[in-house]
Amino acid sequence: MNKNYEKQQPTFYDIWVVSQAAAYLTNQACTISARNINDGVVRLQFNREVAYYARSIVRDVEEGRKTIDQGLKEIKREQKSLINQSLEVGSKGIGVIAGALQFATGAGICYASVGTLCLLAGIPIMAHGANNIYENGRNLMNDVSDTAGPVRSAYRAAATSFGYGEREGDLAYGGTDIGLSMYSLGRRVIKPDAWRLFRYIRSDKERAYKTMGAAPLGLEAYTDYETGRQIYKRLNE
């Protein structure tokens, strides 16, 4: 009995290690809440709850109710949960911004070329952009992750009519979204410093991605990555 009790007695170093991990968890919570919680009272309550939780783990280790490994695992699990929640909120916000840019791109295509190109590329890009704004906005407001906008629902309905399921509709939606994104990046646009006498020639144009700044291009790449990740997830369901 005494031997087992002695084995569970933490050393000063053990307590220091767990206390450092708990302090890091509390600091991480403060950073995440400052980024995602606008209400000062709610933010303070959130930070206090995480601090209390972290301190309770340290106390359990001090009193021998948990081993140092158990304490560190619990703290690490909570850190991972906080990061995942922060990333989810961040990705939804980015999705709204990306949808707005996507809609603007489609509108620009229609403005520059009224006709077939607007019908085949501009309008579909605008539709996907508006749908992404709707889905990510609703997900962000309602704290969910499964909102289906009208365009996605149309893909699902089409897949069902061909004898498939919602999964295949989502795959088609995601694949089309990435395809439209690749088209919008690769299409030829007028160079900023180009001028014409009668009409623009091929040398007056360049690929759209070359005219984009680092931030919009990075946002587009991140959005395509998230869409690809969702497609991969659906493929494995």
Task: For residue range 191-207, list pLDDT tens digits in order.
Answer: 555 555 445 455 555 56
Single out the residue of 135, 128, 133, 169 nearest to residue 151, CA to CA.
Answer: 128
Residue identified by tokens 């968890």 is 25
What does pTM read for this prediction? Answer: 0.58
In the chain, pLDDT over 70 holds for what percent of residues? 76
Chain CA centroid to CA 121, Å: 25
The residues pairing with 205 across neighbouring beta strands, listed in sequence order, are 190
Per-residue pLDDT tens over the stretch 102-118: 888 888 878 777 677 88
Domain spans of the chain?
Answer: 2-66, 90-235
**Is residue 62 predicted with pLDDT exceeding 50?**
yes
Q: For all residues of the chain together, what is the average pLDDT?
A: 78
Confidence of residue 64 (pLDDT cuts 50, 70, 90): confident
Give the Cα-Cα-Cα angle 199, 203, 194 (nearest 5 degrees).
60
Instruction: For tokens 């939780």, name the residue.
Output: 53
98 exposure class (CB count in 10 Å sphere: 0-12, 13-18, 19+): buried
Instruction: For tokens 């089409």, name the residue.
Output: 158
- Bridge partner list, 207: 188
